Amino acid sequence: MVPDILIPLIVVGLAELGDKTQLSTLLLASKTDKHLHLLFGIMLAFLIVDGIAILAGEWITDVAPEGVIKMISGVIFIIFGLVTLIFRNKGEVAKSKYHFENPFYSGFILIFVSEWGDKTQIATGLFATKYNGLMVLTGVMIALSLLSVIAIYSGKFISEKVNRETLTTIAGITFILMGMAFFLF
């Protein structure tokens, strides 16, 4: 039972360290004061995506081709980036009707879409073929929770130290670059 939790926890934790997911979480955290809402949205997305991976194994990548998943993820990252840049000079970005007004939804949508077909989702599905699925999910969720909390607090810290407009510009450009990376890699 212990390896069923520890192996996925360690592997997924190491694989996600510094991944686009953590960078996205850090950037979203720098745009809001509702960090707990953001964490809940992110964790719900991880729970659904990785839960389905465990239930379905590799079936997900057979149903939706990796190229389509990457394309949709790329477009969403680019949209987040453009919205961030468009509204950066219009007063308080967080109050924009079309922006990160609701960090729960922003975190959920960004993570939910970008994690389909991700290396850790596939690894999670593969672990479930060898270990107890519930234990695998427990290990994966612990790893992703710890990394998300670290990313959220890092984003909060950065937002307190860096000018809001500069941070917004960096976030917007980073989201666009991450979206373009989906098309290139």
Write out pLDDT tens, residues 57-114. 545 555 667 677 678 778 877 887 888 788 766 544 444 443 457 899 989 998 888 8
Total domains, the chain:
1
Per-residue pLDDT at 96: 43
pTM over the 0.85 mark: no
CA distance 129 to 136: 10
What are the helix (H) ranges across 57-118?
59-63, 66-86, 103-114
CA distance 51 to 45: 10
Binned at pLDDT 50, 70 and 90, residue 166 comes out as: confident
In this predicted structure, the answer to whether residue 56 has a pLDDT above a threshold of 90 is no
Which whole-number Å values give the CA distances from 7 to 2, 11, 28, 48, 93, in the listed order?
8, 6, 29, 20, 41
CA distance 38 to 103: 5
Per-residue pLDDT at 149: 94
Distance of CA 179 to the CA centre of its chain: 13
User: Do 137 and 51 meet the contact criterion of CB atoms below 8 Å apart?
Assistant: yes
Q: Which domain holds residue 96?
A: 2-184
Question: pLDDT tens digit string along 124-162?
Answer: 887 887 788 899 999 999 999 999 999 999 988 888 888
Question: pLDDT tens digit string along 21-45?
Answer: 888 898 889 888 899 999 999 999 9
In this predicted structure, the answer to whether residue 168 has a pLDDT above a threshold of 90 is no
Q: Which residues contact 148 (CB under 8 A, 6 or more apart)?
A: 22, 25, 39, 42, 43, 46
Q: What is the CA radius of gyration of the chain?
A: 16
The closest alpha carbon to 93, from 34, 152, 32, 154, belongs to 32
